[in-house]
Each structure stands twice: as C-alpha cells, then as structure tokens.
Amino acid sequence: MTQDMNLKPLRESQPILIVEDSTDDFEATKRAFSKANLHNPIKHVFNGEDALSYLRSDALTKPGLILLDLNMPGLDGRKTLEIIKQTPKLKKIPVVILTTSDDERDVKACYELGANTYIQKPVDFDGLIAAIRRLKEYWFEIALLPKEQGRG
C-alpha cells in the first residue's frame, strides 16, 4: 500500500499556536505539553487580533495546530475561528477549541464554523495532562494532514 506523498503527520518542528488570554492557563498548558513529551515550538498570543496578525505574517512557518480559547477580550475565539476558516491560506490549519465552556450552543457553533475538535478544559492539572496526551496522539501521531507551501 503506497502512502500519498501529499499527506504527513505533524512533526516536532511545526509550531503550535496557543491563543489564550489567561497567562495561568497558558503556563498550565505549556507544563502539560512538557509532561506529555510534546516538544513542538510554541507561539503564544493573548487574543484573536494578535493570532490573525501572526497567522497573516508571510515571514513565518505556519503552525501545524492552533489551540484556541473562546472567551477572550476583543476579537473572541468564535470570530477568530470564523476568520481563520474563511481565509484560503489558513483554513487547512487544524483548530482545536480548548475552553472552559461546555455550552452546547458553543460546541455546535464552533463545529459549524469549522473547528476540527472541541475540548473542554479539564478542571485539574492531571486532567489537562491526559487531554494533551490524547491530543498529541491524535494530531501528531495518527492524523495525516496535507502538505502546504511554507509548512515543513
């Protein structure tokens, strides 16, 4: 069986963009990445405006994965997701919603806007580590994604 050469799993060299307004939540996620042996470079931005500025920059390798919080000041996660998924150069980047909300309306709206996965943030650190391990197994070891210009 031959593998399509235009597909590949995410590699450790591809950055992960974390869009999270809470420094505490970002630091916890970063620690969970380390505990889960996920060593990709991490870019952290605090809001949707900064995320879009970063993603639109031509001078960088696009992230292999975006972790997006929903409830942020300014341009929130829903609108940021909508813009990402409507932008031809960005829409193929997987977006994982990582948020405290378990509201069915949020879940439905995010999938309708093109979210690839919706994860409710666990309430304790051990739960966060377990969630990040599963995220790593799926997005970095199992899922195949299309190769794109500018993505290693």
The residue extents of the domains of the chain are 20-145
Tokens encoding 60: 């960088």
Q: What is the dotted CATH code of the domain comprising 20-145?
A: 3.40.50.2300
Give the mean pLDDT of the chain: 88
The pLDDT score that the predictor gives to residue 147 is 66
pLDDT tens-place string over residues 45-57:
999 999 999 999 9
The pLDDT score that the predictor gives to residue 6 is 52
Contact 143, 9 (CB under 8 A): yes
User: Mean pLDDT, to the nearest integer, of 125-134?
Assistant: 93
pTM of the model: 0.87
More confident residue, 104 or 4: 104
Comparing C-alpha atoms, which of 38, 44, 33 is closest to residue 10? 38
pLDDT tens-place string over residues 17-62:
999 999 999 999 999 999 999 888 999 999 999 999 999 997 677 8
The pLDDT score that the predictor gives to residue 20 is 97
Positions of E strands within the chain: 7-8, 16-19, 42-45, 65-68, 95-99, 117-120, 145-146
